Chain A
Amino acid sequence: MILTAVAAAESNPLLPHPAEMAIGGFAFLLVLFFVGKLLVPRIQKTLEERTAAIEGGIQKAQDAQAEAQAMLAQYKEQLAEARHEASRLREEAREQGAQIKAELREEAQAEARRLIEAAHAQIEADRQQAFAQLRAEIGRLSTDLAGRIVGESLEDEARQRRTVDRFLEELESSSAAVR
């Protein structure tokens, strides 16, 4: 044993033994086949799938975010539109209210004017009628009175007075009847 050890120690450590190379090569080829050929492609595939999955997830998240942004913008727009619409409606209602008020007032005034005018006309008509009636009555009464005065031919003062009184009495009673 000592002899072989010494003999081996004298051999050049830089010169490879064929047996070692054969074993080393065999061992490495085993590793290369099982690890390199069978197992590494599996992990490569998995890593690629993971990358794809993560990228897909990121893409999905980005899409969702974009969608949410779009929806938010849409809601904001709708809200602004609704506000605008509401203020427009309010304005319109106010205008309409003012208009209605003005119309009503005008109508009321017109009605009042019309009523007043009608009343005036009625009064005027009544007055005209009263005048006409009165004038006719006065004329008739005057001629009547004048005839009586002339007919009595002024016999005496007492008679005259009676006549006048009677006339006045008649007049009173007739005007009472008219009233």
Chain B
Amino acid sequence: MSAALPLLAAEEFQAPGLGLFDWPALVEGQAWFNKPALFALIAALLVIVFAFSAFSRPQLVPRGMQNIGELAYVFVREQVARPFLGKDSDRWMPLLFSMFLFVWIMNLFGSVIFIQFPVMSRIGYPAVLAIGVWLLVMYLGIKHQGPIGFFKNVMFPPGLPKWIYVLVAPIELVSTFFLRHITHAVRLFATMMAGHLIIALFSEVGWHFLFVQLTPLGAPVGVIGVIMTIILTAFELFIQALQAYVFALLTAMFINDAQHAH
């Protein structure tokens, strides 16, 4: 990051910390324009270019990119939208498909060489998506169930003994309207951050013990660090896709909950 750190690290091993997630401005004076911001915009561009190359002129008999695009589209439709939205799937596919691809590419940057930073490990990016979903869900709930009915259906699920509503009502209120939307963002942010930290730790171990301070005792540790980095990168690739899937899946679930009282 800066010239001072390697000098410091040359003396003894220092595990990477939260400083990994702080980025200086790329342009002097424009504090907002840092590496995550740049790659957020690049991710949007990539998703748009991919979708455009696949779906700009869709053919009845698909060829080339359209095949890949349809693979992604059908995956999102069958695995994300259908389980919760059923017949409504097609209506929400524009949102869910955009969301899945966008989140996945943002995550994927964590395993792309020279980028190596999952943008979603900055809480602001998942947070804005979760807030958007929250606004949408509030709107849909009030539209489909009425402003009172929406809260009533959530806080007073039928079929429980009267006295238990004292407990259920506040829990449901907080959980349904706030907590699950906060965890929606935090889950994505935390898994990406943790994954990045762990990979950074093991690659730092490899770098430090094999290159900075090569010692007979330290070398095996460095080798383990490199091997673990490779294994965990493969694991991260899986987690990145899984978290994008989960994020879109929960969005579909929230939308369905808002549309139909349960």
Contacts and interface: CB of A to CB of B under 8 A. Distances in A.
Interface of A: 1-2, 4-6, 8-9, 11, 13-25, 27-28, 30-32, 34-37, 39-47, 49-50, 53
A27 B44 contact: yes
A39 B55 contact: yes
A5 B1 contact: yes
Contact of B95 (A9, A36, A46, A47): A36
Contacts of B122: 16-17, 20
Contacts of A24: 40, 124-129
Contacts of B36: 20
Contacts of A15: 123
Interface string B5-44: 0000000000001110110100000011000110011011
A2 B129 contact: no
Given A24-B125, A40-B94, A43-B73, A2 B102 contact: no
A28 B104 CA distance: 12
A169 B98 CA distance: 156
B2 A31 contact: no
Interface stretch (B56-64, B151-159, B166-174, B208-216): B56-64
Interface stretch (B45-53, B108-116, B221-229): B45-53
B4 interface: yes
Given A27-B43, A28-B102, A47 B128 contact: no
24 contacts: A2-B4, A5-B2, A8-B22, A13-B21, A15-B123, A17-B122, A19-B37, A20-B124, A21-B131, A22-B128, A25-B128, A27-B44, A28-B44, A31-B98, A32-B95, A32-B98, A34-B52, A35-B48, A37-B94, A40-B55, A40-B73, A40-B97, A43-B54, A53-B60
A19 B31 contact: yes
Contacts of A35: 47-48, 51, 94, 97-98, 101
A139 to B, nearest CB: 129
A19 B23 CA distance: 13
Given A32-B95, A40-B73, 19 more contacts: A1-B24, A9-B18, A13-B193, A14-B186, A21-B131, A24-B124, A24-B125, A24-B127, A27-B40, A28-B44, A28-B98, A28-B129, A34-B51, A35-B48, A35-B51, A36-B97, A39-B56, A43-B70, A46-B60
A25 B37 CA distance: 11
A13 B197 CA distance: 13
Contact of B93 (A9, A40, A49): A40
B88 interface: no
A41 B94 contact: yes
Contacts of A43: 54-55, 58, 66, 69-70, 73
Nearest to B19: A9
A34 B127 CA distance: 22
A46 B93 CA distance: 14
A114 to B, nearest CB: 92
Contacts of A19: 31-32, 37, 124
Interface string B176-203: 0000000000100100010000000000
A60 to B, nearest CB: 16
A4 B177 CA distance: 37
Contacts of A6: 19
Contacts of A46: 58-60
Interface in B218-236: none
Nearest to B61: A50
B117 to A, nearest CB: 13
A34 B48 contact: yes
Of residues B4, B19, B51, which shows the largest number of chain A Cβ atoms within 10 Å of its Cβ? B51
B149 interface: no
Contact of A25 (B17, B60, B132): B132
B123 A16 contact: yes
Contacts of A39: 51-52, 54-56
